[in-house]
Amino acid sequence: MPSPASPVPARPVASAPAAVARASAEAPAGAATRSTPRQADPSRARVFCIANQKGGVGKTTTTVNLAAGLALVGQRVLVVDLDPQGNATMGSGIDKRRLPHTVYDVLLENTTVAEAVQRSEKGGYDLLGANRELAGAEVELVEVERRNTRLKQALAAVAERYDFVLVDCPPSLSLLTLNGLCSAHGVVVPMQCEYFALEGLSDLVNTIKQVHANLNAELQIIGLLRVMFDPRITLQQQVSEQLKAHFGEKVFNTVIPRNVRLAEAPSYGQPGVVFDPSSRGAQAFIEFAREMVQRVQTLR
């Protein structure tokens, strides 16, 4: 295998296929990753977690831009910020320090989703916001009954108002993420085409399998989304090819390029799709929204 131009991986590139194989060997073993046709009520929202326990891989960027892209193509969207960092909230133009109600109140059943949602005027979607208060929920939820399914129950009440609910998960496989996974029909996994991303994938696939087996039989991997992609980097091309070889149709056709406009947009409180619609990053997310709308048809 030719050596990558850059960056130099911390471990030999030759190990990458083994990591992909490990993750994909775990994946098909459970129905969690099969897109078996299922009956779904089209009047009820599809709930998708945007998850990857690795930090900084583009979960929030994917959530807000997919949401804005879906809104642009006529879909009714709710974004749930399930991360105490509140990045999806701020990136949607809503000040996390001034939220009357947050997802924390919803998880502790102090309020309903309908009461707590805010409108992201820029993004064209609704948002259930979060701030640092949510970190406390990790501890408080341990004590309560139905601790894994609180979000699922709360979202059921608004399922007919939306076509898509996108849950931006924190960078961990915590009780918060578990609430997201228990409430979802599927998981979208943004990943960078790097060696360590492959290592983490196998943990995530295992968790999804366990949730599928024990807590949420509906859960499946909707797809792996290659993000921050730079085709000039040989290693990224190699990892991308390996992903396609092992995961096949589970890899989305759309590839999100590394694009500075996507990184600039949050500081303006806007998804990149709205901030600079003609940028390469925005165009890719609009294309991804279209691909997502098509993909959900095949899930029915």
CB 271 within 8 A of CB 64: yes
How many residues sit in the footprint of Mg ion (CB under 5 A)? 3
For ligand ATP, the closer of residues 90 and 155 by Cβ is 90
Choosing among Mg ion, ligand ATP, none, which partner's interface includes residue 12 (Cβ < 5 to 8 Å by kind)?
none
Q: Does 96 bind Mg ion (CB under 5 A)?
A: no
For ligand ATP, the closer of residues 46 and 258 by Cβ is 258
Choosing among ligand ATP, Mg ion, none, which partner's interface includes residue 228 (Cβ < 5 to 8 Å by kind)?
ligand ATP
Q: Rule CB under 6 A: which residues touch ligand ATP?
A: 55-61, 83, 85, 87, 171, 227-228, 256, 258-259, 262-263, 266, 281
For ligand ATP, the closer of residues 62 and 158 by Cβ is 62
Continuous H helices in the chain: 16-29, 59-72, 87-90, 103-107, 113-116, 134-143, 150-156, 175-183, 195-214, 234-247, 260-264, 272-275, 280-299
User: Which of these ranges, 54-62, 172-180, 190-198, 274-282, lies near Mg ion under the rule CB under 5 A?
Assistant: 54-62
* Alpha carbon distance 289, 292 (integer Å): 5
Choosing among ligand ATP, Mg ion, none, which partner's interface includes residue 23 (Cβ < 5 to 8 Å by kind)?
none
* Alpha carbon distance 290, 271 (integer Å): 17
Amino acid at the residue 280: R
Q: Is it true that the peptide bond before 7 is cis, omega within 30 degrees of 0?
A: yes
Give the interface with Mg ion as residue ranges (CB under 5 A): 59-60, 87
